[in-house]
Structure 1
């Protein structure tokens, strides 16, 4: 018979996926990911397995503690199904090879008043008391003393009011009720302490808790914690936050990476993510969608409280942004994603082969970069009204070898990324590929960004082989707006196909749409790490084919073709 805690998790998953519980697509993706991995784990070759007894152990530990504030103060904690799902599941997945935890990071974006600090406190106590590593070190980190105490103080009080817990784990508490300073587990030599800034020299965190990560202007504390975990067999990083108002801070980038992991765009088997917010197509003015971002509605955050915030946002324009930020988890200065990644994925066809287009007419697109950004080269074929894209990417060896660029290293192994020697991309590799393609296909033309292209374009001009019509495409809204609309229409109409290229999918997910003063649209990105070069190369190839819309001039009108 299934244990009640496990039944609650799967009941929650069923209710979310069947629409009985309001949930955004990110939570649905987290649920689907768990079910998919559970099915995959039946394969002996799959490296992970899900052990329900570990989930039960974690939840049972949490429910031995008591609330320390509010109307339930003194009462036993009872986790809600969404909490068992969000925080229980990552403790159940382990590696088959050695039984160590699979997930080394939990990212949880949870709106204000939904008991996120309570859950963080429970995770900290569990990691201090039950972690298998010798002398566990748990740090509750923040940018200020006040914020560090949002998690640590409740944990200290939970321990202080639980005699059985203190006796069993031989807990020694330092400080006072009004100024708690440390939780020490003399049975296993562990400790749980707050930290502002970076932990001191010699620290070896087995668990780090980063609360309200949106307030961190840099990733310094997070990075220091990660570096210090090197000697731990199964460390855990808990990053927990609401949304913020500064997308240049690392929390926003962390969230975007987690969204890509949940979508299957990026692969990271060690990160578990739950993001409670509303969907992009939800209208925040519809109070019905607020439950998506507030999973503890009716328990720790009440409907009348949220209704009051809703009315405040509706009637006071100056309060709207902060309310949507804190109670709906909407970042308030982030851009709008250009393409819905689910719709984009429908165009993936892994059976497509470049050799099947031998001799056919194609348009080329080129977006060059020499150091940090990726140089992207696109070939775009058209059969009737459907387009077929094949891309190649280039980066210098020194960039690919950096530790933070493991995804580049993986793409090189898969043959998707060409790595050139040295610190700068060698454009001769690209030039040779273009010349080879000019022999294989009927090249309609090559659209290129003039930035960094002069040398390569001049070399093509001197080439005695097949002549290539080269079209300079200024990267301005005036020239890019219409093809962006064309591209979007092709994707949503199912008329844009690609071979499942994971790099292009990643880049498409990074594109945000912005509007210039002349009402024209142009592509952008949230930060420099979010590459969009493959999209730009594809867009320029589409320009070579000419506009597919009835309104707006073709790329050739008014500017003409530069013939080389």
Structure 2
């Protein structure tokens, strides 16, 4: 009941005013709009606010900003560039939810917004950054004199995306650009060509819009009214967020907005934030002034089985985001682990543990073997992963059969003698068998002797004429070993185990293993290393190999050398292929 009337009898009207929020709630309740359970929990809470005598319902501020966005703001990117920013119902409902609920503040003796903190979680490419950018611009013009706004993110480039979106909308409008100016420091009121001494749109108004990143520093001491943090999933902790929230503390009616998709950072800032948010939605934690607006799936299973469920995490599907794009992403995710991690987290807001197994048993299974004699007097790609005292050291050569184009890899592992005593009971016998089979070379004492690695490459050349075209190595502990290798005429190339270097070769290794294009001689140590390898992704969809969570004592060095070898191959493909085709 609202003021003695049944809300659902006139579901879209409150005290004579059309409410986009009530319209949205009603259509979601009827199933006309598909949303997930977590957003429905928030909408249930908001519906109760209409019945709360302590909450004033005032549409003026919210509708003023909606009107400003639709009449003053224009899109600036294809395919909507130059077109008016006409808001979808879910966007209008979201803006209403921020502004229409007011409570009386005894400390300042007047009404303020109920919601001062906002979490907006939605899948990528649903217009979250343009929407919040437009809302910030609306707040800049519709808010009080001296409104200061800060755009922030984990890195300067991402923070700049929001700032540039705001500035582009400002420039698109003759009305807005006429009374404002921008430079590298920010956006300000006052037109330098037609300066006015007084008034909201003159130099007298010291309002401003600026940008910072988590890496910028000097965040303390800013006095702002609106703080917007983009891509919160990339933050490792709250060290860059708390100064912004503290800077809002002097305001009577501050607004702090976090907008994000789900992330691939394990145990990061967003993980803790979402844990708190879900506790609030389920009534386990009191955060009355926090608006939690999350577009999430109810399960991963429904993503694969029901396309209509995609609306739960993609409210702009069909208008902002193409269904065909999503369908393509889902199809690719079915065959690629790395793509599945990215698509589930970024397109469907389903958190992925990116330190789970990279490959399945079927991906790794390949019992084909070969004799080195097959590649006598051949060129190869070399790769090493050197560890002085900890993990296995691994050395590898990769040869390509120019008829089948299959990559044949031969490898050797190295371990310090003292490390054998520290192995678990179930591992000792396995390692001893690998040593007896000649798969692992034992270095006397507590450290790996890298000269044994060099000797292995030299022996391959002397016995079979197999010469590495280039040898890839990680920079760890490799300075003197590289000099030794170069003394024998080997060309060594550094391959750091970082996202940028590891991502492309790791994808190709995955694809080649799945299509049986890698023949690793059914080496059990290789299998062991591949089974222990997980993929870790960043927000750019770049990946690198790490150990599977819970298997920190296991070894992945063989997988690493396979990836390093592929990096050398990719970087030198044309020249290497010319050599083997002679």
TM range, smaller chain: 0.5 to 0.7
Equivalent in 150, 155, 170 of residue 159 of structure 1? 170
- Residue-by-residue CA offset, 1:428-479 (whole Å, 9 max, x unaligned): xxxxxxxxxxxxxxxxxxxxxxxxxxxxxxxxxxxxxxxxxxxxxxxxxxxx
Aligned equivalents of 1:100, 1:83: Cα separation in 2: 22
1:201 deviates by 4.5
Gaps of 5+ in 1: 176-180, 336-514, 518-564
Any conservation in 2 of the 1:67–1:73 contact (CA below 8 Å)? yes
Any conservation in 2 of the 1:247–1:331 contact (CA below 8 Å)? no
* 1:127 match: 139
* 2:69 match: 62
- Residue-by-residue CA offset, 1:192-236 (whole Å, 9 max, x unaligned): 011123454531121111000010112111100111122111111
1:53 deviates by 2.0
Structure 1 position 184 matched with structure 2 position 196: no
Aligned equivalents of 1:116, 1:322: Cα separation in 2: 18
Aligned equivalents of 1:61, 1:6: Cα separation in 2: 17
1:8 deviates by 3.4
> 190-199 or 60-69, which moves further after superposition?
190-199
Gaps of 5+ in 2: 1-11, 191-199, 356-548, 552-582
* 1:203 match: 222
1:276 deviates by 0.5
- Say which SS state the counterpart of residue 221 (structure 1) adopts: coil
Any conservation in 1 of the 2:233–2:263 contact (CA below 8 Å)? yes
Structure 1 position 241 matched with structure 2 position 253: no
* 1:257 match: 276
Any conservation in 2 of the 1:82–1:295 contact (CA below 8 Å)? yes
Structure 1 residues 155 and 5: alpha-carbon distance in aligned structure 2, compared to 1, 3 A threshold: farther
- Residue-by-residue CA offset, 1:469-513 (whole Å, 9 max, x unaligned): xxxxxxxxxxxxxxxxxxxxxxxxxxxxxxxxxxxxxxxxxxxxx
* 1:74 match: 82
Structure 1 position 300 matched with structure 2 position 311: no
- Residue-by-residue CA offset, 1:397-431 (whole Å, 9 max, x unaligned): xxxxxxxxxxxxxxxxxxxxxxxxxxxxxxxxxxx
Aligned equivalents of 2:159, 2:225: Cα separation in 1: 18
Aligned equivalents of 2:165, 2:353: Cα separation in 1: 32
Aligned equivalents of 1:209, 1:516: Cα separation in 2: 36
Aligned equivalents of 1:324, 1:5: Cα separation in 2: 40
Any conservation in 2 of the 1:129–1:190 contact (CA below 8 Å)? no
Structure 1 residues 104 and 8: alpha-carbon distance in aligned structure 2, compared to 1, 3 A threshold: closer
Aligned equivalents of 1:165, 1:265: Cα separation in 2: 45
Equivalent in 87, 90, 101 of residue 95 of structure 2? 87
Any conservation in 1 of the 2:65–2:139 contact (CA below 8 Å)? no
Aligned residue pairs total 325
Aligned equivalents of 1:266, 1:334: Cα separation in 2: 28
1:130 deviates by 2.3
1:21 deviates by 1.4
- Say which SS state the counterpart of residue 258 (structure 1) adopts: helix
